[in-house]
Amino acid sequence: MNSGQTVFAQIMDFFPKKQSATCVRRYNGERKVKDFSCRDQYLCMAFAQLTWRESLRDIEACLRAQRSKLYHMGFRSTVARNTLANANAVRDWRIYADFAQSLIRTARRLYRDEPFGVELDHTVYALDATTIDLCLSVFPWALFRRTKAAIKLHTLLDLRGNIPAFIRISDGTMHDVNVLDELIAEPGAFYVLDRAYVDFYRLHDLHVNQAFFVTRAKVNMAYRRRYSHPVDTATGLRSDQTIVLTTENSLRGYPEPLRRIRFYDEEKERAFVFLTNNFSLPALTITELYKCRWQVELFFKWIKQHLRIKKFFGTTENAVRTQIWIAISVYVLIAIIKKRLALPMSLYTILQVFSVTLFEKAPILQVLSEAGIAENEATENNQLFLFD
């Protein structure tokens, strides 16, 4: 890595410039633009994510304080908060959504052999949504409740590497299950869902497209047992049954047999009932797959804690979507750097190191190796980190 470059410039070297230029042309992002390009806008917003800036004025002040280094960091225009605010408000957010998708494709190739806790050759996805609360008077377009505004971040997480394969941003009124209509099922893949996604018509669509699902059964589900398979109760399994649905509407939605597995968790002292259309995997593996769904909850927790997606620099829908997509792209970009440089430390540590070294002219590996020593010492003291 070139020691004459700032750390920020070295990070942005991992960003695919050709693909980003294609995205800008696709949506005419620089039509009638003279100075402040889409790349300059992205660099400003990525800097804000990496350093946890509080406002547009904060971004402007920090970058102008290092004015002599901006050209070497990739900036080609003067940074002004009004210019950045206008760009966030009017430039098509889909430019930055496509930026992120390009990075996601790269990251998924890098992490395709990454283990995730279950010995399985299939691709496994966890689907869930998180709500980001907003002020109704400031964000009136983000409908949720009568006195409250919010947006939802629907995410399909590839459990190999915790890379988001699909993201949909909606207002708070959209029910979680509706996002299944927008997914293109991948044959042979497993989709791990919670009970909010139990809609037998939509689950049958996954089955027809030769994908597998694992979810939890609702308490009032009516069914008839066809066959019971033997289980080892010492593992926590209580039953493994082949069933058919019995209510008219459910049977119309899902006319095929289902597999019902009952498992008792001694630690939590709770019984769980799982449904799946896969009849070949061991019952215990199905329960382990559902347990891995918790990784999508950790993903939401991580990005809310370490990226700027709860407080926004603009109030328009376009500005909010732009900021979220750039935040996602920064998360994926850090994951790509971690993999390509074979870094042993967590994403949390990498992000924290970058936040205080962006203006330094030193190789990335050097600044991270020094931090790696500190992390190892902290690990020996039993301090835990997310996404180790």
Domain ranges of the chain: 7-96+311-380, 194-280
- The tokens describing 213, both together, are 């699902």
Longest CA span, the chain: 74
74-113 residues labelled b (16+ CB within 10 A) or e (exposed): bbebebbbebbbebbeebbbbbbbbbbbbbbebbbebbee
pLDDT of residue 29: 86
pLDDT of residue 371: 67
pLDDT of residue 387: 44
Among the listed residues 328, 369, 354, 282, the one whose alpha carbon sits nearest the alpha carbon of residue 164: 328
Contacts 24+ apart (CB under 8 A), 339-346: 339/107, 339/110, 339/111, 339/161, 340/14, 340/110, 341/365, 341/368, 343/368, 343/372, 344/372, 345/371, 345/372, 345/375, 346/375, 346/385, 346/386, 346/387, 346/388
**Mean pLDDT of residues grouped by 10 in the chain (388 residues)?**
78 89 90 86 95 93 92 89 94 95 94 89 94 94 91 96 94 94 95 95 96 95 94 94 95 96 92 96 95 94 92 95 96 95 90 92 88 50 42
In the block, tokens 């966030």 appear at: 88
pLDDT of residue 386: 45
pLDDT of residue 385: 42
Measure CA 117 to chain center. Answer: 18
Cβ 257 vs Cβ 205: under 8 Å: no
Residue 81's alpha-carbon distances to 58, 61, 69, 86, in angstroms, are 9, 9, 18, 9
